[in-house]
């Protein structure tokens, strides 16, 4: 009977209702009860040496398994998300201080405006100088040098016609004087063909002197004498010898000067590229100023920012005036190139000089305006800075 009831031979027994296989400790015990709020059974274990019990923490449930088709984002996706987050107004923003992102947005817009202003100033200055930098040399040296060489060539042709006169004439001496003075005027241009061009002018001037002396010696000889014919033949060879004569040397200088005029008046691919970049930067800066104005209006309830409006007006006016001056100057240079593209007859040379002066009028003033581009660029950056600085100072954030 004791075996059936589970009693021990010493008279002790297991309390009724205790589970099998549960060891009993000397100073601990378990109490089963019901939670009055949930009605669920709870088990408490008394601490050793105390009369209070603490609830047992239930075991944590295992994490749910990820579906088979769910994969973590790849490296490319993480990089794209990081790039988008750097853009103002895109991605998840990290609040600064009290949770506002206005300070970060203002700093980004400030950097964009200053960068675009600096790039626009540099691009406009380079583009403007690419055209106007050659206008003043063309007006003061290249075009007059071409006309001087044409005048000398024409005077020598006229002198050759008077060289066969039976006696010395004043017309011959006059034409020789005109040719010498024209060469001296052309030599006043230090850029005429460089050192080789100046050496060629000195050689031509010396040959003209020899030519005039031989013609005068021929005219002093009796008409029909052999010596007269010899002097005249020698003078003619000095003037017309192919490759080494005065006219051949002058023609070579004329071609070089006309090539220089072509280079100075051409509007090549590099200038087209520079002006295209300038116009694109103008549009980009205008869009950035407009977006910043709308941002300030939305965030600070300010209808207009006078500094940003002044910066927009200054940039548009500066680029517009630069384009207008460039069109005027380039048109005058193109007309000058067309006028000087071929040797001119003597009677048209004075008219060509007046036309060239009218085509290239005021180019010196317009070329000097390039320094105002740099001044305007500094002012543009100052307006962009002051337009945002007071709003940035209000936040007093720490740059990251």
Q: What would the pLDDT profile of 221-242 be if each residue is shown by its tens digit?
A: 887 788 888 888 898 899 888 8
Q: Mean pLDDT throughout 78-86?
A: 48
54: confidence class by pLDDT, cuts 50, 70, 90:
very low
Average pLDDT value for residue range 141-160? 89
Rounded to whole angstroms, the Cα distance separating 261 from 255 reads 10
* 43: β partners: 32
- In the predicted structure, residue 396 carries a pLDDT above the cut 50: yes
Q: What is the pLDDT of residue 269?
A: 92
pLDDT at position 190:
63
pLDDT band at 109 (very low <50, low <70, confident <90, very high): confident
Tell me the C-alpha distance between 167 and 221, whole Å.
9
pLDDT score, position 78: 54
Is the distance from CB of 305 to CB of 109 less than 8 angstroms?
no
From CA 149, how far away is CA 137, in angstroms rounded? 17
Overall pTM > 0.75: no
pLDDT category of residue 193 using cuts at 50, 70 and 90: low
Distance separating the N- and C-terminal Cα atoms of the chain: 86
Helix, strand, coil in percent for the chain, rounding step 5:
65, 5, 30
Determine contact, residues 155/175, Cβ cutoff 8 Å: yes
Rounded CA gap, 130 and 107, in Å?
A: 35
For the ranges 77-91, 243-257, 343-357, 365-379, the lowest mean pLDDT is seen at: 77-91
Q: What confidence tier does 75 reach under pLDDT thresholds 50, 70, 90?
A: low
pLDDT number for residue 79: 56
pLDDT at 391 over 50: yes
CA 13 to chain centre: 100
Residue 88 has pLDDT above 50, yes or no: no
pLDDT score at 270: 93
């Amino acid at each position: 009977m004791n075996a059936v009831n589970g009693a021990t031979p010493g008279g002790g027994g297991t309390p009724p209702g205790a589970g099998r296989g549960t060891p009993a400790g000397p100073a601990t015990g378990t109490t089963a009860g019901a939670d009055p709020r949930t009605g669920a059974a709870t088990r408490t274990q008394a601490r050793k040496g105390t009369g209070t019990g603490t609830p047992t923490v239930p075991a944590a449930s295992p994490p749910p398994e990820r579906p088979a088709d769910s994969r973590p984002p790849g490296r490319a996706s993480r990089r794209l998300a990081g790039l988008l987050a750097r853009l103002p107004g895109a991605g998840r923003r990290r609040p600064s201080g009290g949770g506002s992102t206005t300070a970060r947005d203002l700093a980004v817009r400030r950097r964009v405006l200053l960068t675009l202003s600096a790039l626009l100033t540099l691009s406009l200055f380079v583009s403007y100088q690419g055209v106007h930098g050659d206008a003043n040399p063309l007006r003061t040296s290249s075009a007059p040098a071409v006309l001087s060489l044409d005048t000398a060539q024409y005077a020598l042709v006229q002198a050759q016609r008077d060289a066969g006169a039976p006696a010395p004439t004043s017309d011959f001496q006059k034409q020789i004087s005109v040719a010498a003075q024209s060469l001296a005027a052309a030599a006043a241009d230090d850029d005429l063909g460089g050192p080789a061009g100046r050496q060629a002018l000195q050689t031509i001037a010396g040959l003209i002197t020899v030519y005039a002396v031989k013609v005068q010696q021929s005219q002093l000889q009796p008409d029909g004498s052999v010596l007269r014919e010899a002097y005249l033949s020698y003078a003619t060879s000095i003037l017309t010898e192919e490759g080494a004569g005065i006219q051949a040397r002058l023609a070579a200088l004329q071609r070089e000067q006309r090539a220089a005029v072509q280079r100075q008046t051409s509007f090549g691919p590099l200038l087209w590229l520079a002006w295209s970049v300038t116009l694109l930067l103008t549009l980009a800066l205008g869009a950035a100023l407009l977006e910043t104005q709308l941002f300030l209006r939305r965030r600070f309830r300010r209808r207009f920012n006078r500094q940003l409006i002044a910066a927009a007006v200054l940039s548009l006016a500066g680029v517009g005036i630069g384009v207008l001056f460039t069109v005027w100057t380039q048109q005058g240079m193109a007309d000058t190139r067309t006028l000087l593209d071929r040797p001119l007859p003597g009677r048209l040379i004075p008219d060509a000089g007046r036309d060239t002066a009218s085509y290239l009028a005021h180019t010196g003033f317009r070329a000097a305006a390039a320094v105002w581009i740099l001044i305007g660029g500094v002012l543009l950056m100052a307006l962009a800075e002051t337009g945002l600085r007071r709003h940035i100072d209000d936040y007093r954030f720490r740059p990251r």
